[in-house]
Amino acid sequence: MWDGPPGPRGAPWPRSSSTRHHRTSRPGGRLRARGPAPHMIRIANGQGFSASTGILNSAAGTNNYPLSIFNPSTSGKSILIYSIQVANGSGGATALLQLVTSNPAFANQITPINMKAGGPNSVLPAADITGATTNQAIAAPYEQVVTLASTTLELLTNRAAILLPNGGSNGLVAYIQTYAAGINSILMRWVEF
């Protein structure tokens, strides 16, 4: 068998992979990200939560249905919202995000679910996580506006997140604006730290 031309280096193909140099960083020396995303660690530690409007049976005509998460200045925690999903089962709809500085306290209180089975309760009581099953008036400005038709859509893409910092009174309201009778819902996921 021929191992290539004579010389001090030998042929490249019979070399063992154990003699190859494996890079642990990208060109330029920056380290590669390793391990789970930071919010996954928080979920494993019992600090990840979700809340949903459940099934919204929208009426005919234009209607606005909200889901609000409000972090009061007394919570002692920061809230990092990393996922907002809106679903529309029939016809068209518009999803809107709105930052607020006072708790809108919609009619339906929603108890958050810890994303770690058996994990502790959220620092946010149900009074700070609210929604409504009836039409609500909304006013500008909006953080984001997206249209959708008969689909589920993630609003926070490309690792986007919204921080409701500790010590401030801040909240986020997600609305789904419907234009016809049908089934809709809103889901938010966050970590507390």
- Is the pLDDT assigned to residue 110 strictly greater than 50? yes
User: Would you give the DSSP letter of residue 159?
Assistant: T
Question: For the segment 28-70, what is each residue's pLDDT rounded down to a tens digit?
Answer: 555 555 555 666 677 767 789 999 999 888 888 889 999 999 9
Lowest mean pLDDT across 11-15, 131-135, 157-161: 11-15
Token pair of 53 as six digits: 């409007």
**Which has the closest alpha carbon to 31: 39, 23, 41?**
23
Q: What is the pLDDT of residue 20?
A: 47
Q: How confident is the model at residue 21 (pLDDT cuts 50, 70, 90)?
A: very low
* Residues in Cβ contact with 114 at an 8 Å cutoff, skipping those fewer than 6 apart: 46, 48, 49, 120, 121, 122
Residues for the chain: how many in total?
Answer: 193
Query: What's this model's pTM, rounded to 2 decimal places?
Result: 0.76
Could you give the 3-state DSSP secondary structure of residue 84?
strand
Q: What is the CATH number of domain 38-192?
A: 2.60.120
Q: What is the pLDDT of residue 28?
A: 57
Helix residue ranges, H only, the chain = 38-44
